[in-house]
A = this chain, B = another copy of it.
Amino acid sequence: MDVRTLCLGILTFGDSSGYEIKKAFEGRLSLAYDAGFGSIYPALNKLTKEEFVSCRAEAQSKRPDKKVYSITKTGRAFFIEQIKKTPAADKYRSEALTTLMFSHMLPASNITSVVDELIKSYDQNIKSLAEGCDMKQSQSEKFLCGFGVTVRQAAIDYMQENRHLIETETLPEQRTAS
């Protein structure tokens, strides 16, 4: 499942430009996947060559043409074929948790701010998810929205209850202060 396939998937929700596809990755797909312009634009070019999408340029006054992509029948068939495959294992990449793994090498103030920021980011995450959660269209969106909220909330609760474990184990402030 590469970015190219995912772009195709996003186009099943409706015609979009590359810019709007990026928004979709940041929005409804943010729980599951991410991609930047550096992968999206080349992916759309490849999909166009393969005739899995068609492209029409919408002229805009004093802005670059907006290229609007539509999925084709063969594109839709290809996408369905792809999502029927057994999904690969989940991947998590958290620099914040990685930092906490080395809390014994850092001053307590540092750990505290990492934990604070992590909780804050989970909180914002929940807010932006919950925002739409009710009025979201499909059942699958509601399901995934609720999933995100539940899991992030569990993470916050755990952190608040157990942060003392790592905040007391750090090096004394004076020894690592630069």
Q: What residues of chain A have their CB less than 8 Å away from a CB belonging to chain B?
A: 1, 6, 9, 12, 28-29, 31-34, 79-80, 83-84, 86-106, 110, 114, 117, 121, 138-144, 146-147, 150-151, 153-155, 157-159, 162-163, 165-166, 168-169, 176
Contacts and interface: CB of A to CB of B under 8 A. Distances in A.
Contact of A90 (B96, B106, B154, B159): B96
A87 B98 contact: yes
Contact of A97 (B32, B86, B105, B142): B32
A165 B150 contact: no
Given A105-B80, A139-B165, A147-B97, A121 B158 contact: no
Given A105-B12, A140-B100, A158-B150, A92 B91 contact: yes
Contacts of A106: 80, 83-84
